[in-house]
Amino acid sequence: MPIDYSFKARIEAALNNQGIRNALGKFGKDFPISRAKVYEGIDFEALRKEVAKVKSNGAAKFEQLADQFEKNLTNRGAKVHRAETGADVYQILRDIAKARNAKKVVKSKSMASEEIHLNKHVEDQLEMIETDLGEWIIQQINEKPSHMVMPAIHLSKEKCADVFSDALGYRVEVDIPLMVKLARKNLRQEFLTADIGISGCNIAVAETGTMCIFTNEGNARLTASLPPVHVILLGYEKLVEKFEDVGPIAKALAKSATAQPITSYVTMISGPTQTLDANGNVVDKELHVILLDNGRRKLLTDPVFKEAGQCIRCGSCINVCPVYQLLSGHVYGHIYPGGIGVILTTFFDGFEAVEKIQDLCISCGRCRDFCPGKIDIPNLILEVRRRVRQQIPLPGMQNLIVGSLLPKKGLFQFGLRQASWATSMFASEGKDGKKYVRNLPFGFGRLADWRSLPAFPAKPFRERIKSIKQNPVNKKGKIAFFGGCVIDYAYPEIGESLVRLANKLGVEVEYPEQSCCGAPAFYMGRQDVTATIAKQNLDNFAKDEYQYIVTACPTCTEVLKENWIHVLQNDPAAKAKAEKVSAKAIDAIKLIHNLTKGDQAAEKEVAALSEVACPNKVKVTYHDSCHLNRSLGIKAEPREVIKDIKNVEFVEMVDSDVCCGFGGSYSIKLREISKVMLEGKLKNIEETGADIVCADCPGCIMQLRGGLDNKKSNIRALHTLELLDGKF
Amino acid sequence: MNGQVIDWRPYLPKSAGKEELYEQFKQKAEALTVKVIRVSTKEEAEKAIVEVMKEFNVKKAAAAPLTLVNSQVIKEEAKKEGIDLGLEQDKDWIEQSDFGISEFDIGIAELGTVVQDAQSIHERLVSMLPPTHLAIIETKTIVDTFADSLQIIQKAYNGNPPHYIAYVTGPSKTADIERVLTIGVHGPSKVIYVCIG
């Protein structure tokens, strides 16, 4: 399997950079708290609906709005330029400068200029001076921003002091206020003597020709006011239709970016103004506006990716990304990091540019919860992945497994069965009595040396169910159980617990003939394979006799509820069946909650359930599985069910909803990252002092159990169904 | 260049200037280290401004053209305290000043923000270049939300906004080095609001 060592080396280097890890780790912990505080009393869901509305409207009509915007600004005396590529921008700027014999340019922050590497391409003609403090610092050492809002967040104050010392020619103390003061003093002279000011802009209003710039330092105001020429560089995605559309964006931008109510300065420029010349005379300024395409037209007209046009570049998706927090922005290799960065880079730099980095997304969905533009970022990344895989196939072995083995039901199941005897050779018992594989030969050692793998039992669940004698109390109905590969072949005991619990609640369980749900293929960009697999399952599940189709793996639940319909959209007959399955699909914990806490609850049965479970006092904490919590919206239910069990003392862990690092094949492909995410999760679990950590996803259980076994911890990881079934 | 100066006051919503809006405005501004001074009359405002300059140990100050107070009176009173207030719109003078004074059209309660038609370069310079900036507003112009400010601008300019509008919310700041909040980068490190009425 070809491995891109430069990509892997960048990951290794970032993971070993303790300074960045500490800084971003702390930021990652602080940000959600301060952000929540600044949004207090504001209905975020309503606000982001408004933002999404004005931005998607802008995206839908961008050509028309661009014309209107240009016309308005031209009428007001500004010069509007259109640039298809970065090269066009270089030329436009060169011509503007040449006409006035301009030499010195002060720049306020513009990500669009970073994206096209503007400075590098014009510095033979122009002295380009970054004036945003973070941008100025990284400009001195020739680095790229590692974050859209905080470009130098990867640098320590010691490093910054070195940068100042080198730039100013004398030793500058490691003193942040002093450095800020020096920046003010030195850059002030540049502002006063610059020939041109360049800035970006956050919002462009078509109906008035207004450009809004949000800054804290005040450099954009000076850039816009002092030099005789102001050049504003902006992408088409900044356009909104109406002046009032500024409202919701302004309300969300700083709150989501830096947890501030608003930036210190909001500047609205709707045409050229005046400045003072060297003699103090008031003179008219030149205002040039450059509308940049560089892939944006393609993005905004794409039926799927136009959604990314709702981005207001706050960076909150990056701030909360558990992978970004470990790696910082430079691993992504281009200007825009994190999830939204992958999407933008796809259009600005092409599919080749994101082939590797799109894999960094673990699909935990945390960013989606925070996005003020209501963009389903993980879903768009899956679409990037799908399209990448159409152009650049998966590496050989992976492609063989996903493309050829997975859709061949018999062969695939045969393979999984072989895992039993294959793993049995290396398996031994752990502290919790389960069998684990800790050492693997032939260079596979690194798969299990940080997280023990489960030994596959000899008999999968599909065999075991045949010998379970079901005796539902006061039988209410029948459900179909969709086991999923992990429960079927690695953890059949979770399935057995489900059957016993269902029986206690008056429900009979059937296990129709079934295959994989297709999630692995879906998440690796092979939705065509998922469609094939879905069709293998549909007939056996789309039956009227089942009240519910139950899974105990939220990833499977999500696939049954949503993805099968999606991948079968061009096959009406199959889609109709998928819709039938979708309507009945439910996660086991949700069903148990319905049966024990909902209208259907029968007291006696509930009591039976909670009494048996726990004979002795035990402390339990809960890990929210990403797909259960975020995709299915199930967060309170497992807690309520667990808290009801006698003798259980429930305790919350810090960041219970942050991904454990499993992510299916992610933990094999990018095990370096998965490992560190697991370490963080285990630390949070240990700090609770709990005896047991519960989760409702067998993937999370595999990750948590493997990590706990590796650490020889006394803490046990259980599927909530096992806890309810008293199996510990 | 539209350049015309328009009075925003006829376009304020009915609720503008309510006592609770002032209270919220003050609280939000103070949370950002802004010093908020409230006075009843023009004369009190003139006096308060001189007092503040004394308190900040100002030697050299600059003011944009003022209408809510008499700048000549302030200049004379300041002179007695050894403060040189320049009323000539001179870039070097403003740049060398410790203190800038200018008027803003409205305040925004939910943010502690002041808003100004800033087409005049001098309006901008006095609020950008000196390390301390004093903004004068009328209390009755404090509106509830940012969205209100957009409506006022739309109405006052009949959908044809002035070429430069400035929203200022407290001091200039950065968190670019290790996310440590530090005030006073390219703009003022200290901001004072004087609310008249």
Can you give the C-alpha Rg of chain B in angstroms? 16
Half-sphere exposure of B65 (CA within 13 A, CB side): 7
Identify the weakest region by mean pLDDT among A247-261, A423-437, B17-31: A423-437
Chain A residues 53-112 with CB within 8 Å of chain B: 76-77
The question of ipTM being above 0.95 is answered as yes
Pairing of strands A239-240, A203-205: parallel
Q: What is the distance between the alpha carbons of residues A97 and A99, in angstroms, rounded to a whole number? A: 5
Report if residue B13 sits inside a domain.
no
A546 backbone dihedrals φ, ψ, rounded to 5°:
-90, 130
Q: Which pLDDT tens digit goes with each residue over A283-308?
A: 999 999 999 999 999 999 999 999 99
Going by pLDDT thresholds of 50, 70 and 90, the confidence category of residue A6 is confident
Three-state secondary-structure class, residue B85: strand
Identity at A124, one-letter amino acid code:
D
Going by pLDDT thresholds of 50, 70 and 90, the confidence category of residue A450 is confident
Q: What is the distance between the alpha carbons of residues A54 and A340, in angstroms, rounded to a whole number? A: 19
Report if residue B54 sits inside a domain.
yes
Assess contact for A505 and A475: CB atoms under 8 A.
Answer: no
Going by pLDDT thresholds of 50, 70 and 90, the confidence category of residue B71 is very high
**What local confidence, expressed as pLDDT, does residue A552 receive?**
97
Looking at the predicted structure, is the pLDDT value of residue A448 above 90? no
Looking at the predicted structure, is the pLDDT value of residue B2 above 80? no
A351 backbone dihedrals φ, ψ, rounded to 5°:
-65, -35
**What average pLDDT score do residues A662-668 get?**
89
Return the closest-CA partner of residue B11 out of B164, B183, B151.
Answer: B151
Looking at the predicted structure, is the pLDDT value of residue A2 above 50? no
Looking at the predicted structure, is the pLDDT value of residue B1 above 60? no
Three-state secondary-structure class, residue A430: coil
Chain B residues 146-175 with CB within 8 Å of chain A: 146-147, 150-151, 153-154, 159-175
Ordered by where they begin, the domains of chain A are 12-292 (3.40.50.10420), 461-724 (no CATH)
Looking at the predicted structure, is the pLDDT value of residue A602 above 80? no
Return the closest-CA partner of residue A485 out of A571, A384, A415.
Answer: A415
Report if residue B2 sits inside a domain.
no
**What local confidence, expressed as pLDDT, does residue A215 receive?**
95
Between residues A1 and A169, which one has the greater pLDDT? A169
Going by pLDDT thresholds of 50, 70 and 90, the confidence category of residue A607 is low
Looking at the predicted structure, is the pLDDT value of residue A424 above 70? yes
Going by pLDDT thresholds of 50, 70 and 90, the confidence category of residue A398 is confident
Q: Which pLDDT tens digit goes with each residue over B7-44?
A: 999 999 999 999 999 999 999 999 999 999 999 999 99
Going by pLDDT thresholds of 50, 70 and 90, the confidence category of residue A597 is confident
Any idea which residue has 């469609």 for tokens?
A531
Report if residue B60 sits inside a domain.
yes
Looking at the predicted structure, is the pLDDT value of residue A409 above 80? no
CATH number at residue B130: 3.40.50.10420
Q: Which pLDDT tens digit goes with each residue over A186-239?
A: 999 999 999 999 999 999 999 999 999 999 999 999 999 999 999 999 999 999
Chain B residues 76-135 with CB within 8 Å of chain A: 90-92, 95, 110-113, 119-121, 124-125, 128
> What's the CA dihedral at A113, A12, A380, A483 to 10 degrees?
-170
List the Cα angle A281/A286/A287 in 5-degree steps. Answer: 135
**pLDDT > 70 in chain A, percent:** 97
Looking at the predicted structure, is the pLDDT value of residue A445 above 90? no
Exposure string of A573-612, with b = 16+ CB inside 10 Å and e = fewer, is ebbebbebbbebbbbbbbbbbbbbeeeeeeeebbeebbeb
Assess contact for A638 and A720: CB atoms under 8 A.
Answer: yes
**What local confidence, expressed as pLDDT, does residue A613 receive?**
63
**What local confidence, expressed as pLDDT, does residue B3 receive?**
64
Q: Which pLDDT tens digit goes with each residue over A467-511?
A: 999 988 778 889 999 999 999 999 999 999 999 999 988 999 999
**What local confidence, expressed as pLDDT, does residue A1 receive?**
35
Q: Which pLDDT tens digit goes with each residue over B77-99?
A: 999 999 999 998 888 999 999 99
**What average pLDDT score do residues A313-334 get?**
91
**Mean model confidence pLDDT for chain B:** 95
Q: For residue B146, give its domain range.
A: 33-196
**Mean model confidence pLDDT for chain A:** 92
Report if residue B20 sits inside a domain.
no
Q: How many domains does chain B have?
A: 1
Report if residue B155 sits inside a domain.
yes
Within 10 A of A117 (CB to CB), how many other CB atoms are there?
Answer: 13
Looking at the predicted structure, is the pLDDT value of residue A34 above 80? yes
A693 backbone dihedrals φ, ψ, rounded to 5°:
-110, 130
Nearest to A222 among B128, B159, B164 (CB): B128
Return the closest-CA partner of residue A201 out of A125, A108, A327.
Answer: A108
Nearest to A157 among B113, B164, B177 (CB): B177
Assess contact for A299 and A308: CB atoms under 8 A.
Answer: yes
Q: Which pLDDT tens digit goes with each residue over A45-93?
A: 999 999 999 999 999 999 999 999 999 999 999 999 999 999 999 999 9
| A261–B28 CB contact, under 8 Å | yes
Q: What is the distance between the alpha carbons of residues A245 and A240, in angstroms, rounded to a whole number? A: 7
Q: Which pLDDT tens digit goes with each residue over A335-352?
A: 888 889 999 999 999 888
- Nearest chain A residue to B93 by CA: give it: A280
Three-state secondary-structure class, residue A649: strand
**What average pLDDT score do residues A448-469 get?**
91
- Nearest chain B residue to A163 by CA: give it: B177
Give the mutation candidate from A192, A193, A221 for the B interface (greatest B CB count, under 10 A).
Answer: A221
Nearest to A270 among B161, B166, B179 (CB): B161
Assigned token pair, A432: 């919790």
Report if residue B91 sits inside a domain.
yes
Q: Is A193 on the interface with B (CB under 8 A)?
A: no
Report if residue B50 sits inside a domain.
yes
